[in-house]
Amino acid sequence: MIDGGTIHLKTDSNFLFTYTKYMVEHNSLPVEEMTTDLYHDSQLLTQNSPLLNIRTYYEQMWLDRGLSIKYVKFQLPREGALEEPDVEIELDDYRSYHRPKRSGLEVAK
């Protein structure tokens, strides 16, 4: 990814979304869009963006399980390195079907 590139993150994972949100805030990255429930955010959906209107098989699987799809669009810095915030984030309490259980960790840094 080039400096100043745009990241589009769509995820069902609270952990990944929260981590990304902390990274964006800690590094003062420009955020263009952010929502915790993409398919019920009428403001974003009315923009008629092809990217936001794609609902993947996996997104539908998580939606059917009652999870929301989160979305954030932000830009990388034009120079320098990103710094990771010193925060504890709760791990997701669900997993994909037929995947083994995670380690005994309750939180991750």
Mapping DSSP to helix (H, G, I), strand (E, B) and coil, where does residue 30 land? coil
Quote the pLDDT of residue 14. Answer: 92
What per-residue confidence (pLDDT) applies to 81?
86
Compute the mean pLDDT over every residue in the chain, rounded to the nearest whole number: 84
pLDDT value at 67 more than 70: yes
> What mean pLDDT comes out for the span 6-18?
94
What pLDDT does residue 109 have? Answer: 46
Q: What is the DSSP letter of 106?
A: S
What are residue 33's phi and psi, to 5 degrees?
-145, 145
Rg (CA), the chain: 15
Whole-number pLDDT of residue 86: 94
Q: Cα–Cα distance between 51 and 38 in angstroms, integer?
A: 12
Give the separation between CA 72 and CA 56, rounded to whole angstroms. Answer: 17
**Across 22-33, average pLDDT:** 95
